[in-house]
Amino acid sequence: MNPRPAYKFKATPQFWKRFYALPPASKEAVRTAWRVFKLDPFAPGLGTHKIHGLSARSGTTVYSVVLAPDLRAVFHIIGDTVWTLDIGTHALYR
């Protein structure tokens, strides 16, 4: 079994703008999930999955991670860097 590479993590300004606009309870849910995400973005409990429509439009594989029942973050990986692109509801997928 090949271990996952050690990733670096970066976030876009759009991600931070939307994160800071979240209510406090949502921010706490994000922080809790983020502790797991930074260890392994594909950890089974995160429900990480490919978003086919966004991937096709962007020309790169875009994934979604479940942070709370109706809160997702979308990200892609370039080399050894995980780029968190945005955060919000399922509306992110459109």
Residue 50 lies in a domain: yes
- On whether the CB atoms of residues 56 and 63 are closer than 8 A, the answer is no
- The 10s digit of each residue's pLDDT in 39-84 is 999 999 999 999 999 999 989 999 999 998 889 999 999 999 999 9
Residue 1 maps to a domain? no
Q: Give the per-residue pLDDT at 2.
A: 53
In a domain, 27, yes or no: yes
In this structure, the strands spanning 71-78 and 81-88 are antiparallel
- The domain total for the chain is 1
Whether 3 is covered by a domain: the verdict is no
The CATH number of the domain holding residue 50 is: 3.30.2310.20
Domain range for 23 is: 8-92
Q: What is the DSSP letter of 90?
A: G
Instruction: Give, for 52, the enclosing helix (H) or strand (E).
Output: helix 52-58
